Structure 1
Amino acid sequence: MARLLLQGALRRPRAAGWAGVLLLSCILAACGGDDDTQPLQLRTLSNRADLVSDGDVLMEIVPPSGSSANALKVTVGDRDVSSAFTRTSSGRILGLVTGLAAGNNTVRASASDAATAHIVVNNSPRSGPVLSGAQTQPFYCATSTPQAASGNVPQTAPSGLAGTADANCGIASETKLYYRTTAAAPAGGCSLPDPFSNTTLAQPAAPAVQCWKEYTPGSQPADMAAAVTTDAGVTVPFIVRVERGTMNRGIYDIAVLFDPSKPWTPTAPQAGWNGKVWYTFGASTGQPRRQVRPDNSNRWPLQEEQLKRGFLVAANSMTDSSRNSNRISMSETVMMMKEHVIDTYGLVKFTIGTGCSGGSINSNMNLSTMPGLLDGVITSCTYPDSETTAIEVGDCSQLVEAYQKPQMLALWTGLPQATINAKKAAINGHPDQTGCQAWFNFFGSNGKAGLYNYRHVNPADTATGVITQDATPTNNCELPNSAVYDPANPVATASLPRCNAWSWAESLWGKVPGSPAARETRDNTGVQYGLAALLNGMITPEEFVTLNEVVGGFDHDSTPTAARAAADSDALATAYRAGIVGSGKQLAKGAIIDLRGWDDSTVNRPPSLPAAAALGIHHQWFSWAIRERITRDAGDAGNQVLWRFAATGLSAPGTLSLEALQTMDQWLTSLVTAGGSGTVESRVRAAKPANARDFCILTTDATQSTKVYDQSACDADPFLKPAASPRQVAGGPRAEDILKCQLKPLIQGDYPAGVFTGSQFARLQAVFTGGVCDWTKAGVGQQAVASPLTFKSGPGGTALGNPPVSAQD
């Protein structure tokens, strides 16, 4: 479909998908063939030829040596698309092929002095999926204005778009221009409310500080900010073009510097764009069944530093972890978005992913599940992935409940509360008892498949850890309670939506045979909770035995059980093969800067940190878990840089975030410029700038500006030294990527002589009838990563294989 220029603004009647010129991996790029054997080559540039979406793809025609490609003719089936191709200033022959039908399309090219060749392009709909398998249903589309809940239909979210959603939640795209005003940005960054709020039916008030206002082409507002000079040395008005549309059932925003007086085509972009993409991922984790806009925390007005340097900024609600915990569908959305960027705006030099918490999970998951989509990531509040983070969430939830059971309370009767809490901390592996309580409060109910009554520890009573329960039931689907599965009435509600992450991603995991529940990876069979605490004398043998007797497990509904939880073997294999367990091998292929802030406790905080700034769940050891995995799988972690700080909590002090952007920009620019034929891993490490090295800022540093490179000095700071997890206290590795351990016999000789009485050991044998974890062995189902996988043929996935290339007729 032709691009139309209206009032100098780039317009598209519809928007495409995006994946891109993948600079780090031919796995997700159309790498073409060998000029010696292909008289004429056709290459898809915006994505692999078999993963194209939305009916268009940017292509290149490469003539054989000596050919001038005169009388070039390009067809799609019987349709002539030759006019779409042009020779660029660099001499390349590029063209946007549009109007692709669903499924296979044969694109053929010929020239007067070259033989004819063809390539088959497989096109999927803009609404998806491409390779993630069947989309979860039901799913409720956003509306131009919010609609109140009615019966089993939830309240709809406002789309911020004028159009009406189709059956697949597709809504017509819109573009607007905004100019930066002269107003100073508030402390929290500029905001720009959409016409409607995501969470209320009322229209919000305008922001007190209007950093951005809509721009009318040709006007010169009195409060327009000065022109900006990009990192490429191009000076342009500080005007941003914002495109909003839908992709893979998510709502996206794309923002980039734009001169309304000049044209823009994908083969001739405006000079204000530096060719770089800044992709933001939203935080938290969830699986609600409603279409919404991108999370407020990653909206484009907050990316002002990136925009004025010339970056294109992109976000999609289906890559926000709070809205989509299917990590393959999430990465697929990034692929489609990147393809759309290339088809619409032009070739991409490199892409940086960024996010905190759940946003860090999605940054790392892109590296692990579909290497090459992102060239580098800048993360904060970092976790490696959701499956292994769920180990600590599950363990903490079980332990918080166990500490309140009568058997444990009886053992601790009469002990000072400080002593009891020190025992809990030793079992948990955390600085104090509040880390596990925080996990229990924030995400302990996230695995609930249907209706449940929320249980939590009162934040004002972290000392005793007493649990209270809400009287009103709720669910994790954001649906009316009448519309979801009810564990208390399992037969009658078996066909209703299940609301945990594994059912949301049922296309990956599949179902448990004979059950509506999805297969899942949670497991605590054989785990000896508090083992290190026992061995170092922090808890008594009786406390150890009793704890492991009462801790129990849970079923697929997250209902507590006396027996330990057992993972589904097929799900374990899928998690490792697909890279859903963050793979050190794949993570080693990207440049990583980890802004490692502090959030290990809600009570024992750095003196400068207010209570409201501590959540207590972003434990520092997760960054070291990633380092352990990369080192183990790739030989070293030379591609991962840790910048540690604690006095400011999770927020990087001073200009550290900006320095991370500049350092990553330098790193990837060097990588792209250098090229080379070595492995991706070696090229990433060779391109690493000198200032990309580990350091910390000590908590006692009043100015929070002095970089300390002595790691032993960093570790001596009590707020900078990483702690551990309950699973590590139980003997597990710091990498924490063993979802289910292999078992070994329970042998009394494995413990110090005389530690248990005969009765106590007999009780342990009754708990661990199948044995205890053997941490010297790989986990059950743990195997080499094979990502990227495609799930088009069903759960479990199959290797994607090599990309299609052109062939001579």
Structure 2
Amino acid sequence: MPSSLHRLRLPHATGRLALIALACATLASCGGGDPATPAGPVATAQSLQGRGGNEGPFEIRTLSNRADLVSDGDALLEVQAPPGTLTSGVLKVTVNGRDVTGAFGRSSDDRVIGLVTGLANGDNVVEATVRGGPGARLVVTNAPRSGPVLSGPQITPFYCATPTPRPANGQVPASNGSGLAGQPDANCTIPSEFKLYYRTTAAAGNGPGQCSLGLPDPVWNSNGVTGVIPGAPTPPANPCWKPYDPARPPSDAAMATTDAGVTVPFVVRLERGTMNRGIYDIAVLFDPAKPWSAVAPQKAWNEKVYYSFGVSTGQPRRQARSTINWTGLEEQLRRGYLVVQNSMTDSSRNSNRVMMSETVMMMKEHIIDTYGRVKYTLGTGCSGGSINSNMNASIAPGLLDGVITTCTYPDSETTSMEVGDCTLLVEAYQKLRATPLWAGLPQSVVDAKKAAINGHPDPSGCHAWFNAFGSNGKAGVYVQRVVANAAGLVIPLGAPTNNCELPNSAVYDPARPLETAGLPRCNAWSWAESIWGKAPGGVAANDTRDNEGVQYGLKALLSGAITPEEFVAVNEAVGGSDRDSTPRAARSVADGAALQTAYRAGIVASGRQLAKTPIIDMRGWDDSNINVPPGQVAGVNPIPIHHQWYSFAVRERITREAGDAGNQALWRFASTGLTPPGTMFLDGLDAMDQWLTTLVADRRGKPIEGKVRDARPANTRDFCLIPGDATQTKVFDFAVCDADPFLRPAASPRQVAGGPRAEDVLKCRLKPLDRDDHGGIAFTEGQWTRLQDVFSTGVCDWSKRGIGQQFAESPLTFSAGPGGRALPEAPASRRK
């Protein structure tokens, strides 16, 4: 049974149809490919090709996905049949006994390809026969458009969007506007719609005569908490994108020239629909006077997919449109990319990363079935969007052929460690404010001590984590607590709320645990209950939060930044949290089952899996909103949480597990905050296009990791831009880059406690507390006794792998239950 899957490459062919499935992703396993066996404990190429025991010339293949992972009732199939069988009328293809021969046609390179529709949910028997000759049989397993395919049972309750928002009614929450005219069915599936828009010739901007890149049909979402419905949003007064009427071509339509040199009117077709209960938008250059099918796409499409992932993180139980606007991707559209987003791949709407990756798989299949072959798929995003980009590459390597990220995090599970540590430390500092320990010290001195413990330039980073995401793990009703000033004062703010976006009366309430035990829980682990499983007792989900044995401020103690008494007092005060994220004196302890799942499934981003994907990481400055580099204004960014060390954590993981990080380009800058300066992002898009174009053309029998490195162009070399340098000249010497205080990566609270920069140990192994591990620091007997009380079970032994830490076996399927199992070999057709 294979433990991982690779991209598949079809053999060279001259016709367009011969390339339909080129660069199909890991889970979208196509026929064909090179005969190499990838290095390491992974599947053989033969198993990925889906040939099985049928080595003859007559077989059936799925081209847009593995035959056992098909969704939405259709599948693009190829029948490898003897020449002339189709035109002579001797070939017959049936699905469950239904004749579908008419769906097939012969391509210019003599391949028989057809889009078969009307598949039933579950197993479908496809048979191809030649009168008086051979026959083949393939079982195609279809899942509904609403999902799931492999992520296990979907969470309930979940409330569908409606054509216009509806107010809350008792325990039923307000609905969001879907942007679609049709009503949802019981599974939140809404009929798809197609609209035409054109790009005007006006320049985008806020000046006179300039146009707005805002959506011409704005997202109309309700408040969801109070049930108040705001006024319907209005389109921009002067939108850059306007509805296109083919019968009345406008005079102000711009032209677009693609990266293939095709010049067309800048008209796009927007497809909006639902997939896996998410609402998606697909936009691509389109000529309404010409047909388009999967076997004959229009030439303005460059056959590349640009997948945008949304920012932030959340797990609301209400269907909504994505927060990503296709209208802002005009350069990608102009170049000929098909751009796509889905609210279930928007991190703010879905924090179940397996379901997120599953949704990408389903969207790619839909694109191939509807639009045609895909040369490559590029994933991109900032913050939560970078999490989804990287986690796709780890959970389902090959779904994305390349990744461009800004404000990068490796994954959500290990990023939550810094969120949790900062939340606990801010509360601990609040306790220490009133003690004699810090009461008489100047605030600047106290801030320096906090920064040393946090690993950040100053306390603003942990304050930002506390305010922005410190309550994201709350399982039920809560009152938000925020840091109210620079000194770290914590106060309650606002009315009771919850993270489900449901009425408070409809969710679990920690104040009434028995009475509300059966109501929905609202943290990320409960949202992904199908992945993690339930903890003993059968109510809350297993989760990975743990700080047992973590010696906060250890390196600050050893450096002299804090005193032994401060070290002891902080570790006494920090405590942990329970499953509801309620602070407690005892440290947090993770569930063993969740730890194993996190690593096996690639939910903790795996360096070995990431090594298979080209990555360009554009890393800006966001470590503080107090001390900022030249070009920035202090205080402009209120949530400095995208710390630079995260990019280096990705690099350390890849290097440790793959031997080198030759697949990761790191471009650093500081003066423009998180936004790449000048043409950097477009330069990255050009460079990645060159990288992936070379990669997908490589048909050698070589492991994908080597191909990725061989294909890397010279213009992706690591560099930095020194803040304050008026010329913004690229610097390729990392020693010079690291000497700049605004380019040098800082650390996290867990790294200050002795943990690795890779930040991938969710739960450390423990060893006895030992004076010799504290650099000769002279603790009093009283202080040492107090430390022994805090660490009665031991302290972290960072020289060892974490509890449950192992190589990823992804992709996994959770159809049979939490924890997951490795996918079997892809189904293959058999001779009749």
Within 1, Cα distance between the matches of 2:656 and 2:467?
34
Q: Which amino acid aligns with 1:63?
A: A
Matched, 1:242 2:270: yes
- Kindly provide the CA deviation profile for residues 53-85 of structure 1, in whole angstroms up to 9, marking residues without a partner as x: 010001112236998885221111211111111
Matched, 1:290 2:318: yes
Q: Which residue in the other structure is 1:656 paired with?
A: 680
Closer/same/farther in 2, CA of residues 475 and 34 from structure 1, 3 Å limit = closer
Matched, 1:95 2:114: yes
Superposed displacement of residue 198, structure 1: 2.1
Superposed displacement of residue 609, structure 1: 1.4
- Identify the match of residue 278 of structure 1 among 288, 303, 306: 306
Within 2, Cα distance between the matches of 1:753 and 1:627?
33
- Identify the match of residue 464 of structure 2 among 418, 433, 438: 438
Alignment of 1:5-404 (within 5 A): 22-23=23-24, 25=26, 28-30=29-31, 31-33=49-51, 37-63=55-81, 71-111=90-130, 115-186=134-205, 190-194=213-217, 197-199=220-222, 200-225=229-254, 227-295=255-323, 298-404=324-430
Secondary structure at 1:691 match in 2: helix
Q: Which residue in the other structure is 2:46 paired with?
A: none
Closer/same/farther in 2, CA of residues 196 and 350 from structure 1, 3 Å limit = closer
Superposed displacement of residue 807, structure 1: 1.2
Q: Which amino acid aligns with 1:88?
A: S
Closer/same/farther in 2, CA of residues 632 and 195 from structure 1, 3 Å limit = closer
- Identify the match of residue 582 of structure 1 among 590, 593, 605: 605
Q: Which amino acid aligns with 1:404?
A: Q
Matched, 1:484 2:502: no
- Kindly provide the CA deviation profile for residues 564-598 of structure 1, in whole angstroms up to 9, marking residues without a partner as x: 00000000000000000000011011110001111
Superposed displacement of residue 39, structure 1: 3.5
Matched, 1:536 2:559: yes
Within 2, Cα distance between the matches of 1:518 and 1:393?
19
Within 2, Cα distance between the matches of 1:679 and 1:178?
43
Alignment of 1:789-804 (within 5 A): 789-804=812-827
Within 1, Cα distance between the matches of 2:212 and 2:654?
35
Matched, 1:724 2:747: yes
Superposed displacement of residue 515, structure 1: 3.9
Q: Which amino acid aligns with 1:138?
A: P
- Kindly provide the CA deviation profile for residues 212-259 of structure 1, in whole angstroms up to 9, marking residues without a partner as x: 11111132211111x222111212111000000001000000000001
- Identify the match of residue 750 of structure 1 among 763, 773, 780: 773
- Identify the match of residue 626 of structure 1 among 647, 650, 655: 650
Within 2, Cα distance between the matches of 1:471 and 1:351?
43
Q: Which amino acid aligns with 2:252?
A: D
User: CA RMSD of the aligned region, Å?
Assistant: 1.8
Structure 1 unmatched runs, 5+: 1-18
Secondary structure at 1:224 match in 2: coil
Does the Cα contact within 8 Å between 2:602 and 2:810 map onto a contact in 1? yes
Does the Cα contact within 8 Å between 1:402 and 1:408 map onto a contact in 2? no
Q: Which amino acid aligns with 1:332?
A: E
Closer/same/farther in 2, CA of residues 166 and 796 from structure 1, 3 Å limit = same
- Kindly provide the CA deviation profile for residues 615-667 of structure 1, in whole angstroms up to 9, marking residues without a partner as x: 21000000000000000111110000011011000001001111111111111
Does the Cα contact within 8 Å between 2:29 and 2:63 map onto a contact in 1? no
Within 2, Cα distance between the matches of 1:34 and 1:513?
41
Within 2, Cα distance between the matches of 1:26 and 1:451?
38
Within 1, Cα distance between the matches of 2:448 and 2:381?
33
Within 2, Cα distance between the matches of 1:767 and 1:430?
25
Closer/same/farther in 2, CA of residues 23 and 639 from structure 1, 3 Å limit = farther
Within 1, Cα distance between the matches of 2:50 and 2:777?
68
Closer/same/farther in 2, CA of residues 20 and 414 from structure 1, 3 Å limit = farther
- Kindly provide the CA deviation profile for residues 151-175 of structure 1, in whole angstroms up to 9, marking residues without a partner as x: 1111110001000010000111000
Q: Which amino acid aligns with 2:192?
A: S
Secondary structure at 2:56 match in 1: coil
Secondary structure at 1:405 match in 2: helix
Q: Which residue in the other structure is 1:556 paired with?
A: 579
Matched, 1:665 2:689: yes
- Kindly provide the CA deviation profile for residues 265-305 of structure 1, in whole angstroms up to 9, marking residues without a partner as x: 1001010111100000000000000000111xx21111111
Does the Cα contact within 8 Å between 2:432 and 2:438 map onto a contact in 1? no
Does the Cα contact within 8 Å between 2:461 and 2:641 map onto a contact in 1? yes
Please identify runs of 4+ aligned residues in structure 1 that moved more than 6 A.
64-69
- Kindly provide the CA deviation profile for residues 705-743 of structure 1, in whole angstroms up to 9, marking residues without a partner as x: 421111111111111110000000000000000000000
Does the Cα contact within 8 Å between 2:814 and 2:821 map onto a contact in 1? yes
Superposed displacement of residue 114, structure 1: 5.4
Does the Cα contact within 8 Å between 2:197 and 2:241 map onto a contact in 1? yes
Secondary structure at 1:538 match in 2: coil
Does the Cα contact within 8 Å between 1:118 and 1:808 map onto a contact in 2? yes
Superposed displacement of residue 24, structure 1: 6.0
Within 1, Cα distance between the matches of 2:184 and 2:709?
46
Q: Which residue in the other structure is 1:597 paired with?
A: 620
Within 2, Cα distance between the matches of 1:452 and 1:129?
31
Superposed displacement of residue 42, structure 1: 1.1
Within 1, Cα distance between the matches of 2:435 and 2:734?
41
Q: Which amino acid aligns with 1:40?
A: F
Within 2, Cα distance between the matches of 1:150 and 1:722?
50
- Kindly provide the CA deviation profile for residues 539-588 of structure 1, in whole angstroms up to 9, marking residues without a partner as x: 00010011111110000000011100000000000000000000001101
- Identify the match of residue 483 of structure 2 among 423, 446, 457: 457
Q: Which residue in the other structure is 1:13 paired with?
A: none
Secondary structure at 1:626 match in 2: helix
Number of paired residues? 784
- Kindly provide the CA deviation profile for residues 334-360 of structure 1, in whole angstroms up to 9, marking residues without a partner as x: 111111001100011100000100000
- Kindly provide the CA deviation profile for residues 470-511 of structure 1, in whole angstroms up to 9, marking residues without a partner as x: 252111011111111000000000011100000000000111
Secondary structure at 2:339 match in 1: strand
Secondary structure at 2:166 match in 1: coil
Percent identity reads 64
Superposed displacement of residue 34, structure 1: 7.3
Secondary structure at 1:95 match in 2: strand
Superposed displacement of residue 33, structure 1: 1.6
Q: Which residue in the other structure is 1:15 paired with?
A: none
Q: Which amino acid aligns with 1:47?
A: N
Within 1, Cα distance between the matches of 2:814 and 2:717?
38
Q: Which amino acid aligns with 2:231?
A: A
Does the Cα contact within 8 Å between 1:103 and 1:122 map onto a contact in 2? yes
Secondary structure at 2:136 match in 1: strand
Does the Cα contact within 8 Å between 1:20 and 1:339 map onto a contact in 2? no
Secondary structure at 1:184 match in 2: coil
Q: Which residue in the other structure is 2:453 paired with?
A: 427
Structure 2 unmatched runs, 5+: 1-19, 32-48, 223-228
Within 1, Cα distance between the matches of 2:183 and 2:541?
33
Which deviates more, 227-236 or 160-169?
A: 227-236
Within 2, Cα distance between the matches of 1:651 and 1:641?
17
Q: Which amino acid aligns with 1:236?
A: V
Q: Which residue in the other structure is 1:6 paired with?
A: none
